[in-house]
């Protein structure tokens, strides 16, 4: 009974590859993205480790093997320290842009008011000379 259960559980947990074979739990998972300059970056799971691939189709690729512990530290950094704390889930940059635009608009309004005031006094002086 125990052997039967172990076989059934392993069959259920194993990763099914496109060719019909089965692989180690956690393998055959990956993500690929293109950078703005055309380079590719990809992260593939190999069961108990990860391959980070970086390069372009014309030149050589750089392959870095990462342990699960290193990848978890990297994921923690990206999600918690950079995305959540560093950018406030993307809101920090939007807030900074809004603050900057508000300050520029206020400075422009003050400058415009000074110019209008100066033009008003210059017209009054010209009217006083003429009149």
Number of helices (H) and strands (E), helices first, in the chain? 3, 6
Total domains, the chain: 2
State the Cα angle at 54 between 25 and 23, rounded to 5°. Answer: 15
One-letter-per-residue 3-state SS of 114-129: HHHHHHHHHHHHHHHH
Residues 10 and 48 in one domain: yes
Domain shared by 51 and 2, yes or no? yes
pLDDT of residue 131: 64
In this structure, the answer to whether residues 26 and 57 fall within a common structural domain is yes
pLDDT at position 123, please?
85
> Domain residues for 36?
1-67
pLDDT tens readout for residues 19-30: 877 778 778 788
- Within the chain, which residues score under 50 in pLDDT? none
Res 84: pLDDT: 92
Largest CA distance in the chain: 115
* 14 and 48 share one domain: yes
Distance CA 65, CA 43 (A): 10
> Which pLDDT score, from 0 to 100, does residue 30 have?
85
Both 57 and 103 in one domain: the answer is no
Contact 83, 92 (CB under 8 A): no
Give the C-alpha separation, 14 to 59, whole Å.
Answer: 35
75 found inside a domain: no
The residues that bridge with 31 in the sheet, in sequence order, are: 43
CA pair distance 23, 20, nearest whole angstrom: 10
- 72 located within any domain: no
pLDDT score, position 4: 92
């Amino acid at each position: 009974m125990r052997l039967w259960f172990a076989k059934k559980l392993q069959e259920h947990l194993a990763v099914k590859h496109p060719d019909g074979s089965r692989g180690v739990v956690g393998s055959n998972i990956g993500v690929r993205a293109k950078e703005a300059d055309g380079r590719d970056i990809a992260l593939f799971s190999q069961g108990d480790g990860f391959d980070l691939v970086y390069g372009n189709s014309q030149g050589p690729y750089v392959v870095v093997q990462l342990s699960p512990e290193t990848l978890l530290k990297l994921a923690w950094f990206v999600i918690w320290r950079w995305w959540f704390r560093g950018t406030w889930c993307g809101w920090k940059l939007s807030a900074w842009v809004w603050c900057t635009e508000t300050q520029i608009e206020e400075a422009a309004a003050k400058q415009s008011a000074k110019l209008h005031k100066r033009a008003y006094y210059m017209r009054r002086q010209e009217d006083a000379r003429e009149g």
